[in-house]
Amino acid sequence: MKTYILERDIWLAQPIDVVFPFFADARNLELLTPPWLHFKILTPDLLEMRRGMRIDYQLRVHRVPIRWESEITAWDPPHRFVDEQRRGPYRMWIHEHTLTEKDGGTVARDYIRYAVPGGPIIHRLFVLPDLERIFNYRYAKLKEIFGVVPED
């Protein structure tokens, strides 16, 4: 199975004790997900995030409805957590979120290892461009919420 890596990071102008609780609240995924995906959390009564927690979602990718279930497989507040797809569109999806204090703010980093059905052509034509758009949207929202260093 061919796997791919997507890595992104952003410096946010808030301390880790402000940033981590935002990421630890699964309901904030709806805020960070582009509206064109029609993302909705299905799990009722989301409790405190922890290792072993499973969360169900629904979304639409290219108008196709998709159910997704993820499990929190690592939980190390306020520095790291990992979610893994248990059911969904990918053959494999392991998403590690790390937060590191730096220069009075927090570096939020996404490291995703994934595999897609259909192989390299599907990845290059559909999956990678979709992921780039999704994470561009996500990081723009994070900038709005937490602020970043102004550019010169």
Question: In a structure prediction context, what are the per-residue pLDDT tens digits for the chain, which is 152 residues long?
Answer: 899 999 999 999 999 999 999 999 988 999 999 999 999 999 987 777 899 999 999 999 989 999 999 999 999 999 999 999 999 999 999 999 999 999 999 999 999 999 999 989 999 999 999 999 999 999 999 999 998 765 44
Q: Say which amino acid occupies 99.
A: L
**Superfamily for domain range 4-146:** START domain (3.30.530.20)
Cβ-contact 15, 107 below 8 angstroms = no
Q: What is the pTM of this model?
A: 0.92
- Domain residues of the chain, as ranges? 4-146
Residue 96: phi, psi to the nearest 5? -100, 125
- Alpha-carbon distance of 106 to 26, in angstroms, equals 19
Q: DSSP string of 83-137?
A: EEEEESSSSEEEEEEEEEEETTEEEEEEEEEEE-TTHHHHIIIIIHHHHHHHHHH
Give, as one character, the DSSP assignment of residue 151: P
73: tokens are 């497989």
Residue 78, preceding peptide bond in cis (omega within 30° of 0): yes
